[in-house]
Structure 1
């Protein structure tokens, strides 16, 4: 295994992490924006008010995109296991 292989693995890992975290980040960002907008319109400035909708949004993301996320992780691990003999040869 040389430095090029390590960089390739790290790059692939970062891409998988970005793909898996994107649904969470987008949903929580959208919910936070909507709740923040509603708080400014109603002048209700309670900092803990956005926690429950974000938690519900994250649960919905897990329920809807969970199988896809798991497939991505398993595919990455499977690819890594298949590359192991090649990496050990040098």
Structure 2
């Protein structure tokens, strides 16, 4: 294994992490901005108002995007095992 192979594996691993975590992060950002807008309009600054809806939304996003995340991790694992099998 040379430097190019190692960099290729690291790049693919980082890309897999970004793609797999994307749905949950996007949902958290959208819900957070929506709640911040509601708080700014109503001037209600309750701390639990930000956390509870965000947690529920993230749990739903993880539940619905589970097969997608699993397929991304499965393809990454397959690529890594194929490289190990071929001796890099």
TM over 0.5: yes
* Cα distance between partner residues in 1 of 2:11 and 2:87: 16
Does 1:72 find its partner at 2:85?
Answer: no
Paired residue total: 88
Q: What does 1:1-90 align with in structure 2 at a 5 Å threshold?
A: 1-87=1-87
Per the normalisation by structure 2, the TM-score is 0.93
Deviation at 1:19, TM superposition (A): 0.5
* Cα distance between partner residues in 2 of 1:12 and 1:56: 30
The runs of 5 or more residues in structure 1 that have no matched partner are: none
- Kept in 2, the 8 Å contact 1:23–1:61? The answer is yes
Query: What is the RMSD of the two structures over their aligned residues, measured on CA atoms?
Result: 1.1
**Paired residue secondary structure (2:65):** helix
Per the normalisation by structure 1, the TM-score is 0.91
